[in-house]
Amino acid sequence: MRSLSGGDPAERPRFGPVEELLPFPLEFEPNRLLAFLDDGLSDRRRAALTARLREWEPRLPVAVEIVPGGEVAKSIDAWRQRALICRDRGIDRRSLLLAIGGGALCDGVGFTAATWHRGVPWCALPTTLLAMADAGIGGKTALDLEALKNPIGAFWSPEAIGIDPSFLESLPARELRSGWAEMIKAAWIGDAALFEQWEATPPSASGSVSDLLRAPTREELERVVEVKLKIVECDPRESGPRRVLNLGHTLGHAIEALESVEAPRRTHGEAVAVGMAFAARHAVARDPSNRHPLRLLRLLDACGFETAGPTTDFDALLSLVRSDKKCDGDAVTFALPVEPGRVDLVSTPLSALRDTLRSGAVPHPPR
């Protein structure tokens, strides 16, 4: 029987070509299937997916809806649209939703699954690097509220996750880099050997410092997913240890929120990279004898991320940090990078973050 919180949050994704993966939703014997496809996928991809899904028609009713991907998929209006589609397609608790798209679409469809009829099962086929490495895994679903990132959400895991790295072939270079931010985060948190491998040879297309990043190998992707699964397994509801996954996100989310009203916007990964660089600077400011955090800055630099501290309005940023879920009054649980394989969770007064934001004191690491 299904649990009341969706599927297993530590469900291992299956890897393979989408044509081979796709029958997986049928294993759950739904009475009907409603697939939401990210409109960022190419026409060719969408047509092939639709044709494949329609092959199941004799066995069950299949509906395929192409919906806007990107952050807009996490708006309340997009949620309302999906709920209306669920109503019109007769989705009930024995039906299955399928999200095929980026992290935002997976978050949004996951939240639709969590809330429609108080929870219907769903499966995810993440199609961006960031979604394969992070967003599609672990069962957190969310919507944004105006400028605030993810204040509305539910823990509602997909029944199954399929990863076909060939989706990355159509991903714009900027989105690929964005995904590398979460890859680097995961390696720093839980796979020091992988981090060191990238330190020695940055994942740029040429193997040296470069603007273009390569797609990860399947092994790299699997190792990063493993880091997240291990953490989620220990703390599925983020009551404590899972918060290490927020490395770079305290400031990253605040930057995203601030920029949603001020163009131009950064991608999620770009904002998290600035947040991780800030976290590294803050770690060195707290303990100047530990230079390891500078290694995180250096790898982000080598991958072409912007690592300079934000120069925008510090007060506005900190007031957004204050409204973060991880904030308790004037202190925030801050994920502090200590060394590869180690992140400490430290209750940090906002005033201390302000000091680091203000000071340009921490030297930029030499290449």
Ligand X SMILES: NC(=O)c1ccc[n+]([C@@H]2O[C@H](COP(=O)([O-])OP(=O)(O)OC[C@H]3O[C@@H](n4cnc5c(N)ncnc54)[C@H](O)[C@@H]3O)[C@@H](O)[C@H]2O)c1
Residue nearer to ligand X on the CB measure, 250 or 356: 250
Give the pairing type, strands 33-38 and 14-15. Answer: unpaired
Phi, psi of 225 (to 5 degrees): -60, -40
CB of 57 to ligand X, least distance (A): 25
Pairwise CA distance, residues 228 & 330, whole Å: 29
For the chain, the first-to-last Cα distance in angstroms comes to 54
CB of 138 to ligand X, least distance (A): 5
Q: State CA 138 to chain mean position distance.
A: 10
Residue nearer to ligand X on the CB measure, 30 or 269: 269
CB of 366 to ligand X, least distance (A): 31
Q: Is 214 a catalytic residue?
A: no
CB of 150 to ligand X, least distance (A): 6
Residue nearer to ligand X on the CB measure, 87 or 218: 218
Residue nearer to ligand X on the CB measure, 100 or 294: 100
Residue nearer to ligand X on the CB measure, 232 or 294: 232
Residues 6+ away with beta carbon under 8 Å from 288: none
Contact 120, 34 (CB under 8 A): no
**The tokens of 335 are what?**
């994920």
Of the listed 65, 238, 259, 339, which one is catalytic? 238
Residue nearer to ligand X on the CB measure, 112 or 267: 267
Q: Is 19 a catalytic residue?
A: no
Closest residue (Cβ) to ligand X? 40
CB of 15 to ligand X, least distance (A): 16
CB of 74 to ligand X, least distance (A): 6
Of the listed 253, 282, 298, 326, which one is catalytic? 253
CB of 304 to ligand X, least distance (A): 16
**The tokens of 21 are what?**
């993966």
Of the listed 45, 242, 243, 282, which one is catalytic? 242
Of the listed 177, 185, 243, 268, which one is catalytic? 268
Q: Is 364 a catalytic residue?
A: no
Task: List C-alpha distances in Å: 73 to 78, 106, 110.
Answer: 5, 9, 11
Residue type present at position 255: I
Residue nearer to ligand X on the CB measure, 80 or 358: 80
The binding site for ligand X (CB under 6 A) comprises 38, 40-41, 69-71, 74, 101-105, 107, 127-128, 130-131, 134-135, 138, 140, 149-150, 167, 170-171, 175, 178, 267-269
Q: Is 292 a catalytic residue?
A: no
Q: Is 150 a catalytic residue?
A: no
**157-181 residues labelled b (16+ CB within 10 A) or e (exposed):** bbbbbbbbbebbeebeeebbbbbbb
Pairwise CA distance, residues 251 & 350, whole Å: 11
**The tokens of 160 are what?**
């199954």
Pick from 20, 303, 11, 25: which is nearest to 166 by CA?
A: 20
Of the listed 45, 243, 246, 281, which one is catalytic? 246
Pairwise CA distance, residues 319 & 147, whole Å: 12
Contact 209, 367 (CB under 8 A): yes
Of the listed 45, 74, 140, 177, which one is catalytic? 140
Q: Is 182 a catalytic residue?
A: yes
Of the listed 45, 228, 243, 295, which one is catalytic? 228
Contact 59, 30 (CB under 8 A): no
Q: Is 118 a catalytic residue?
A: yes
Catalytic center residues:
118, 140, 182, 228, 238, 242, 246, 249, 253, 268
